[in-house]
Structure formats: C-alpha cells, structure tokens
C-alpha cells in the first residue's frame, strides 16, 4: 500500500514538473495566436515561427554566450514572420490558410537550412527559476524548477487580458475581430489594427522557440517543435480566446505530453506510445468539437475568416 502511495506521489510530482516544463512553449505560442485571432485573423503558420525562432535563439546564444540575447533574436524572427503574414493577408482575395501554410513551410525550411550546423554544438541554457526553494526535498525542488519564460508568459497573459479588456486600443482589437464594419465606420483602419495584432502575436510566438531550444528540451533538432505551433489553434479554442484561459490550457496540454514519460518513470510501459500521442489526440478532439454545427464557443471572434 505504501508502495502504491509512493508511486502515486512520484507520478503526481512528475506530472506537475512535466506540465510546468512542457507548458511554456504552448503558453507563449497560444498567447501569440490568441492576440492574432482576437483581431479577426488566423495564423496557422506558427509552426514555422516556432522552429525558426528556436534556431535563431540557439544560434545567437551559441555565438554570443548570452541566452537572453537568444530570446530577443527569437522574438525578432517571430515579429518579422508575423509582419510578413499580416502584409500578405491584407491583400485582396487571398486565403489566410494558404498564406499560413506557405509561411509555415518557409519558416520550417529556413530553420532546417540554418540549423544544420547547430545540431551538435552546445549553447548555454536559460537559468531555471526555483519555485521550490522552500522545500528540502530534491524531487520537489526539481519539479518546481521552471523556465523563466514561463514567468514571462504568465506576465504576458495578465497584461494581454488587461490590455484587451481595459484599454481603448484593446477594445479596437476586439472590435476588429467582432465587427470590422463598425470599426471602419468610426474612422479606424481594420487592416492596420490586424497588422499590429498579428505582428505582436508573431513576436510572442517566436519567444516559444527560445523556450524549446534554450530550456526544455534544449538544443536544436528538426523535430524540436513536434507540431506545437499547429496545436496552438486548438489551445486558443480550448481557452475560449481568453489570455488567462491560455495559462490553464497550456498546463493541460503540457501535462498530457508529460503523462507517458511520467508513467515510464514509475515502471509502467504498456501503452506508453499511445499516451505519448495524448497532446495530438487532445488537439483532434477539440477541433472535432469545434467543427460541429451544434456547438458554439463563447469568446470566438465573429470576424474570423480564411478568405478576404
């Protein structure tokens, strides 16, 4: 009985630690997509942003030795791709989905090209924030060691929520996502609002790449993102287009990804391969639910469209 209790405690700590470690990229890329979609535009090209941001951050950190310069490089790459996406989507009669796919391929291709020399070299990592400093248990301390970009993500979520709900500019972003004609009638440019929102969203999503390459799992490989940029679409739906909701959604997505390794750590190996696919199954379930004609989700921007 005590062994089972010990296993359960270890599993809980492993899940908590895995969720905190794995949730940071989900949180940042989800917040970036949330800001973009709040303005009435969707960006499905964030997988390319994630990978190119990871390469830029790792390469910059390896060259300079300063991880936070790598973080800035990742954000800058995300900003550039977000700006390019916004400019292309502002053209008449272009498919937002097609532009997103094209930029995903473009970003991924550039990442693979520039990342080849970075597969073996080791760059400094971001220093963990020890939230478990109060405990003498090494397991607790290890589980509560978090990526500093997770703290940045929490601050961004709170700031974005306040911005969207309590500022005039945030109200314009929400209005552009809900009723573009009303915004234009007030003399504001919907295209300009969406340009800034998409560019800002790209910057935040780029930071997720830095989290992947400079903290967890760290390093550079072509399989680093594992579809997290695409999962951001489902995460934002799950969070009801709410920045604060993105925190809880990211933790759930992170925990789903940590379930398989956590069970392996306590000796359970049957069906672990299936459990490793939990984030993808969760994404599929959310998208299927969203596509149902009988389901509606509160918070969905009314102007979201794939063809302008």
For 125, other C-beta atoms within 10 Å of its C-beta total: 16
Q: What pLDDT is attached to residue 307? A: 39
Listed in sequence order, the residues at least 6 apart from 45 whose beta carbon sits closer than 8 Å to its beta carbon are 81, 85, 99, 100, 101, 102, 103, 104, 106, 107, 229
Burial track 177-189 (b if 16+ CB lie within 10 A, e otherwise): bbbbeebeeeeee
171 SS3 class: helix
Q: Which one, of 146, 28, 39, 145, lies nearest residue 86 by Cα?
A: 39
Query: Is the pLDDT assigned to residue 56 strictly greater than 90?
Result: yes
Query: Is the pLDDT assigned to residue 53 strictly greater than 90?
Result: yes
> What does pTM read for this prediction?
0.92
Question: What burial class does residue 90 get, using C-beta atoms within 10 Å of its C-beta: 0-12 exposed, 13-18 middle, 19+ buried?
Answer: middle
Q: What pLDDT is attached to residue 291? A: 63
Q: What pLDDT is attached to residue 288? A: 78
List, for residues 191-228, the tens digit of each pLDDT value: 999 999 999 999 999 999 999 999 998 999 988 988 89
Q: What mean pLDDT do residues 64-85 have?
A: 98
Q: What pLDDT is attached to residue 308? A: 43
Q: What pLDDT is attached to residue 284? A: 83
d(CA 94, CA 102): 12
Q: pLDDT-derived band of residue 1, with 50, 70 and 90 as boundaries? A: very low
Q: pLDDT-derived band of residue 306, with 50, 70 and 90 as boundaries? A: very low
Q: pLDDT-derived band of residue 123, with 50, 70 and 90 as boundaries? A: very high
Lowest mean pLDDT among 9-13, 149-153, 283-287: 9-13
List, for residues 152-191, the tens digit of each pLDDT value: 999 999 999 999 999 999 999 999 999 999 999 999 999 9
């Amino acid at each position: 009985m005590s062994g089972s209790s010990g296993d359960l405690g270890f599993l809980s700590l492993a899940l908590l630690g895995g969720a905190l470690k794995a949730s940071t990229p989900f949180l940042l890329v989800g917040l970036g997509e949330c800001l973009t979609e709040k303005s009435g535009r969707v960006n499905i090209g964030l997988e390319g942003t994630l990978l190119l941001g990871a390469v830029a951050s790792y390469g910059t950190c390896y060259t300079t030795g300063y991880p936070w310069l790598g973080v800035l490089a990742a954000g800058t790459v995300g900003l550039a791709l977000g700006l390019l996406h916004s400019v292309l989507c502002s053209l008449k009669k272009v498919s937002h989905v097609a532009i997103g796919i094209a930029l995903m391929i473009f970003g991924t291709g550039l990442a693979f090209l520039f990342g080849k020399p970075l597969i073996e070299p080791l760059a400094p990592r971001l220093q963990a924030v020890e939230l478990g400093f109060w405990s003498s248990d090494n397991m607790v301390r290890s589980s509560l060691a978090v990526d500093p970009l997770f703290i940045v993500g929490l601050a961004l979520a709170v700031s974005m929520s306040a911005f969207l709900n309590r500022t005039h500019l945030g109200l314009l972003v929400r209005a552009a996502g809900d009723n573009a004609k009303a915004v234009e009638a007030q003399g504001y440019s919907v295209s300009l609002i969406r340009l800034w929102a998409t560019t800002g969203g790209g910057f935040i999503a780029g930071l997720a790449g830095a989290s992947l390459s400079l903290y967890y799992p760290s390093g550079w490989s072509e399989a680093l993102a594992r579809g997290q940029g695409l999962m951001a679409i489902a995460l934002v739906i799950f969070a009801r287009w709410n920045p604060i909701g993105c925190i809880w959604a990211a933790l759930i997505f992170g925990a789903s990804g940590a379930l398989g390794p956590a069970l392996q750590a306590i000796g359970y190996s049957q069906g672990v391969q299936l459990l490793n696919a939990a984030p993808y199954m969760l994404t599929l379930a959310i998208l299927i639910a969203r596509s149902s004609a009988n389901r509606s989700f509160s918070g969905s921007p009314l102007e979201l469209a794939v063809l302008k």
